[in-house]
Chains A and B, each alone.
Chain A
């Protein structure tokens, strides 16, 4: 069964082709991440899949009656609009107090109903957006750079939450990101985008693909080491190994990616 499929999708802005010949499918309960540098057309792809942008060719098909939740990249609630968290959750479909409370509890934000949206921290704000998206009981959750503006621990916590949501609700998750390591570890499948699909597969396969490394300017060993470093690291934590344990690959990688 396929929830969402794009066949040979192309999008033009003016004369320029921003996306060409993109085909992808999303199946139930999988986490698919679209990865690409700035300007690679990631957000454009999501907006085309959502039907916001017109396609210049190709088509997008949704499973019949697909319930879709969307977390946009930027939602600047203007200070001119008073908006409590509770009220926001009822847009555009009104939900009961019980449903609202449950959704907020699910994303780890109890007792914020009466707070103003504009007064939330970046991490709280993203969680409220997620809670709102969950209220429609989505079969597919689409997130556009959901951790933008969060610090590293906040980012990691958000992706853990996404994984929990997937496990509990069996919703498929399609998200966009430009950061590598945290997302890689949290995904079942990665699609590497730069105007077209460069490569795709499991995080391990993609991180070994030459196209991927060329795209992110990583050294020959970079991405794989980076990915494995993430694994080793959590492993170390779980088993209480010494932190001074040498990681030649990871040191290598850090200097590459941060250069």
Chain B
């Protein structure tokens, strides 16, 4: 069954949706959209690093994404203006990554597969990585769930309950880096943040509790993956952008549905 490239692609999309649903919800609740973008853009630099050092691509992106996420967290804790810092870091990471990768002649040709993903070329090994990483993120979030929610609501409240908000923030940072490494093959560095934000944003209008929002976001991410792949196959469009387009259409429908229901 896994020999069919389309089934592998579909499973890759589902594996990614499993992780981006709950993590994307936190990205929205904590207003980390730009933070996600910066971390995801750093993935291109990770690809260049991996190729230069002959590391697996996933290891390179994981290291660089993690470094980026930790740098941003540290600067934020030191009171740097977040909007500006992220604006500088996100675009610098992308620019440096693109410059660095131009030194690797073999990649120049399929640079777009790193920018926009190449889900139709997902191998069994990739699939193992995507589901392994996705499971890791889901397990981490499930384990820390109550503490993460409390710290997201109010850090003082978390403190007073004996929790450590810094530790919870670190858990999210780790999860984000893993998702970036996992998502690179599916939607590419430029659209990873979209897979985090759009399904969760679409789920917001429908959900009544944090848990239902995360679950609905998983469902929407999964549906967008499958619809996007079909679209890609049928119209011969790039798969990653097609998946994100499908998610955006679901978001629009959910927003309209929400307006009608509330009026």
Contact = CB atoms under 8 A, between A and B. Distances in A.
A52 B209 contact: no
Interface string B72-84: 0000000000000
Contacts of B159: 50-52
Pairs A-B, 10 closest by C-beta atoms: A70-B160, A92-B150, A52-B159, A81-B29, A82-B207, A92-B146, A87-B209, A91-B150, A72-B156, A80-B28
B153 A47 contact: no
10 contacts: A50-B159, A52-B155, A52-B160, A68-B160, A75-B154, A81-B152, A82-B210, A87-B209, A87-B211, A93-B146
A47 B154 CA distance: 13
Interface in B102-157: 146-147, 149-150, 152-157
A72 B154 contact: yes
B213 to A, nearest CB: 6
A174 interface: no
A31 interface: no
A92 B147 contact: yes
Nearest to B200: A80
Interface in B24-45: 28-29, 31
A77 to B, nearest CB: 7
Interface of B: 28-29, 31, 146-147, 149-150, 152-161, 163, 204, 207-213
Contacts of B207: 82
A84 interface: yes
Given A51-B159, A72-B157, A80-B29, 14 more contacts: A47-B156, A52-B155, A52-B160, A68-B160, A72-B160, A78-B29, A81-B29, A81-B153, A81-B210, A82-B208, A83-B209, A83-B210, A84-B208, A87-B209
B169 to A, nearest CB: 15
A116 interface: yes
B254 to A, nearest CB: 13
A51 B161 CA distance: 11
A259 B212 CA distance: 52
A75 B208 contact: no
Nearest to B157: A72
A5 to B, nearest CB: 18
Nearest to B28: A80
B146 A91 contact: yes
A72 B159 CA distance: 11
